[in-house]
Structure 1
Amino acid sequence: MRAHLRRVGAISAMLWLSGCVSGPDYRVPATAMAVAPDAQGRFASSRAPTYTQAEPPDHWWQLYQDAQLEAYVAEALRANTDLRAADANLRRASAVVLEHQAQGTLRTDTAASGTLAHAGGYTLPSGSLPQAYALGITLSYPLDLAGGIRRGIEAASADAEAVAAARDHVRVTVAAAVTRAYVGACAANQTLAATQRVLSTQRDTLDATRRLAAGGRGTEFDVTRASAAVNRSAAAVPQLIAERQRAVAQLGALMGRVPSHYPQEVSACARPPRLDRPLPVGNGWQLIQRRPDIRAAERSLAAATATIGVETAELYPQVNLGASAGIANAPRHLLASESVGASVGPLLSWRWPNRRAVKARIAAANARAEAALASFDGAVVQALQQTDTALSTYSQALDREASLARAREDAAHASAQAGQLYRFGRIGFIDVLSAEAALADAESALASSQAQLIDRQVDLFLALGGGWSPSGPGDDAEAEAAQRAP
């Protein structure tokens, strides 16, 4: 037994002198995808003049210079219900950090007791007191020689930072969703205006056809076909109004508004905001630092690594530095000097762990860390793939819009020429209807393409991870939790 105690004392002395903290110290592994030079360089699809290598701003929607859009995003970032839940999750995670930190502070325990004995059916033991009272206080401070508490704080802090990154991801998603909804409402208005322009032209054609038929230069068949074209275009109007209202409703929900307070003023938006200058996209290293999902994965890896130390500390004794004081005696002698007692000294606690079980938990913690590293690498690879795809898709969308704009101009010119030629009897009525149908298709395709172009811009900014900033709501959650703590 003495030999065992000497061994325990030697272990404790070595831990104390070396300042040992169990488990590995965390650092980003040298094999991680995030530190690979190929992952940190320029994006493969960013060499077109469409892009610049400047780092994108946090509040990328301000590039559109649309005050209404900026106001909607700001309101959503304050009131969105998903974001409120994410802020609450961050406050909870910050409170868990405080809980782990409290495990390494001074602990106080008090105890009081009273004994009342009466001689009757039982005989009092020799020397016992009929009435005795005791009051004591014990102070203990964990020395944390194996560093289990410190590793626990590291793990909890890393988990809280992962939750903060998840909250930032919600901010990114909310900002993108608000922009999409706003653009959707404006695009519906733009398409509606284009449809009404075509409809106006078709109605003019219908009126002219009726006059020609009345004067003997046309047929009732021509009138019927012209009327059918008008009705076909008019049928698209209710659908466009419904699309606009759906976008307005989505926008209101993102801002936490009830249906009676949806932002109906957006219905007056004539066209989507445009961004005609090259987009700032930065490089891979900036992307890795900025993407919330990558930061969350890296912090989860840090937490998993710290957990290895928490489990390893279970192999070593738990030592507390303690002191106690108290008084105990009969009531009339309670304040006498012989009633007072005190003690100071280390309190060694060792649960005599099942080493096989502890080592199994250490192996499980190591496996969790390996899985976390794989997830970290996967997040980097996915982010780079999403960004490269978004860059390529946006470039192609620009080319498509340019072609559709030229097609729309040609269709409008052809429709005007067809109307003149028909009035002079140079072409048949079917040619007029075909030219007007081609104009309607070109107007619709161009309006849809312009909306999709901004949607591709949002995809790109979403892939780049913009939309959060250190000064955003909820970032001071840990400090707030600390202030509320007693």
Structure 2
Amino acid sequence: MFPNPRLAHSVLLFTLPLTACTVGPDYVRPQANISNEFKEAQGWKPAQPRDTALPGKWWEIFNDPILNGLEEQVLGANQSIVQAEAQYRQAQHLVQSAQSSLLPVATLTGTFNRFKAATGQSVAVSGVRNLFGQAVGVAWEPDLWGTVRRQIEANTGNAQASAATLHALILSSQASLADNYFQLRTLDAQKALLDETVTAYSKTLEITQNRYAVGVVAKADVVQAETQLETARAQSIDLGVQRAKLEHAIAVLIGKTPAELALAPAPLNLQPPGIPVSLPSELLERRPDIAAAERKIAAANAQIGVAKAAYYPTLNLATTNGFQSPTADNLFTMARRYWALGPAGLALTLFDGGAKNAQYKQAIDAYDASVAGYRQTVLTGFQEVEDNLAALRILDEETQVQDKAVAAAKHALALTNNQYQAGTVSYLNVMTAQTAALSNQQTAVQLLGQRLSASVQLVKAVGGGWNETLLPSEDQAAGERKWTDYLILPLVE
């Protein structure tokens, strides 16, 4: 509160041009090593219709209603995501805190003194006296070198990085749920296969026992049939351990205790869908972890400006307007009014033992580290896409061969069973054929599970439908501010 309007106008005219100066480098997005195309995409069958973007609810491309219902529960229930949301809001409030430094600080003080002057001191009124006071003070440090604005820029970049990290965590949680779900369904399919095998082995054991009863086969054949039957039963039971762990993991991902979720066994009647894969250059815009790494570079770049501005002098302006009176009843009268302009201080550090120089170098080093981290994140992103493209292509080829192996093993088992019943081969031949048939069928089921898992991981690798337009703008990164936020009161909704 300036007591002299002309003086206040002069001060503002002097300081406003200075606040236009911002030291430090302006941010330029660093280059990253990008290939022209994905090596493993040769021969890749794109999704139909031909589209280069996944839908927001990307899991719906698998056409599994149960999976759809589970995925819908991730947002708002997964506690890791709730934690990341709170951290993003914290980053927004750090932006608001930095913005507050552009404004002056006003203080209101009230004082009361009761005192007596020392003996022999020349005073207008002797004895005990009272002194009442009230004052309003305003202090402001003009942002001469852009320190505050660079800090706002840094906090904004960190808030945007926090938002991108939140999206990356959401995508990771959704992908983990889908992966666990398909692994669980793969175990269901394996158990169903083993249960069918147990039924078939039980019939074989019955036939063998009947043949033993009439003296056609030896006791050893019966024992071998029993061993094979119980082994299949044990394998079927053993799958329950893995299934229970996967079910528990899914429960935690949707914010529930394991006791609150039970997924009934269901057949695995799915085939991996076509996953749209964009150009490598577009991957930078569609992966939230890459966006988070890039925003951290922008924040680190702004911190260089903050460190550099510390070399320059700082200017502090202050003014006070108040009242003083020996009695409270006439305190707020013009006769008791006083004002003060100042102190105005200009400070420049002459020697600090190299502290500012070290801080400036630290800021540069932090920027270099964030650039390297960004480029490594980009390379990792490309690797993940290539890995899963290769996995899907190779697993598809393997599946075609494995399907032929399953058919051949089933045919060989049927022929061997007929030969055994005709008495032309021993039971060892039957066991060998049964083991081969079961092994090939189990491999086929596992291949389908691996293909579904690779599809989920490819979805995650290409960003899962996210793109940079979902990144908050600078205004959004600062969050919403209500007029009540400017009150010196802890008003929290």
Identical-pair percentage:
23
Residue 423 of structure 1 corresponds to: 421
Residue 347 of structure 1 corresponds to: 344
Structure 2 counterpart of 1:48, from 37, 43, 66: 43
- Trace 1:166-315 onto structure 2 (pairs within 5 A): 166-262=165-261, 264=262, 266-271=263-268, 273-275=270-272, 277-315=273-311
Letter in structure 2 aligned against 1:49 = W
Structure 1 458/199 Cα, relative in aligned 2: closer, same or farther at 3 Å?
same
Bigger Cα displacement from structure 2, 207-216 vs 436-445: 207-216
Contact 2:287 2:466 in 1 (8 A): no
Distance, in Å, in 1 between the alignment partners of 2:484 and 2:386 is 45
Letter in structure 2 aligned against 1:153 = I
Q: Secondary structure of 1:325's match?
A: strand
Distance, in Å, in 1 between the alignment partners of 2:483 and 2:435 is 68
Shift of 1:459: 2.1
- Trace 1:86-485 onto structure 2 (pairs within 5 A): 86-118=84-116, 122-127=119-124, 130-262=129-261, 264=262, 266-271=263-268, 273-275=270-272, 277-320=273-316, 322-331=318-327, 334-343=331-340, 347-352=344-349, 354=351, 356-466=354-464, 479=479, 485=485
Higher normalized helix content (fraction of residues): 1
CA deviation profile, 1:13-67 (whole Å, cap 9, x unmatched): 69825821111111213xx21xx5x44x321211223335723334321110112
Shift of 1:116: 2.4
Shift of 1:267: 2.4
Q: Secondary structure of 1:45's match?
A: helix
Bigger Cα displacement from structure 2, 388-397 vs 321-330: 321-330
Structure 1 359/127 Cα, relative in aligned 2: closer, same or farther at 3 Å?
farther
Q: Which runs of 5+ in 2 are unaligned?
A: 1-12, 487-493
Shift of 1:468: 5.5
Contact 2:177 2:253 in 1 (8 A): yes
Q: Secondary structure of 1:122's match?
A: coil
Bigger Cα displacement from structure 2, 50-59 vs 308-317: 50-59
TM-score under structure 2 normalisation? 0.86
Distance, in Å, in 1 between the alignment partners of 2:123 and 2:37 is 90
Contact 1:393 1:456 in 2 (8 A): yes
Shift of 1:101: 1.1
Shift of 1:235: 1.4
Shift of 1:78: 2.0
Bigger Cα displacement from structure 2, 463-472 vs 240-249: 463-472
Structure 1 396/177 Cα, relative in aligned 2: closer, same or farther at 3 Å?
same
Contact 2:101 2:148 in 1 (8 A): yes
Q: Which runs of 5+ in 1 are unaligned?
A: 1-11
Structure 1 86/261 Cα, relative in aligned 2: closer, same or farther at 3 Å?
same
Residue 26 of structure 2 corresponds to: 25
Letter in structure 2 aligned against 1:479 = G
Structure 1 counterpart of 2:72, from 71, 74, 82: 74
Distance, in Å, in 2 between the alignment partners of 1:229 and 1:281 is 46
Distance, in Å, in 2 between the alignment partners of 1:18 and 1:256 is 49
Q: Secondary structure of 1:111's match?
A: strand
Across the two proteins, how many residue pairs are aligned to each other?
465
CA deviation profile, 1:359-394 (whole Å, cap 9, x unmatched): 332122112111111111111112112221221122
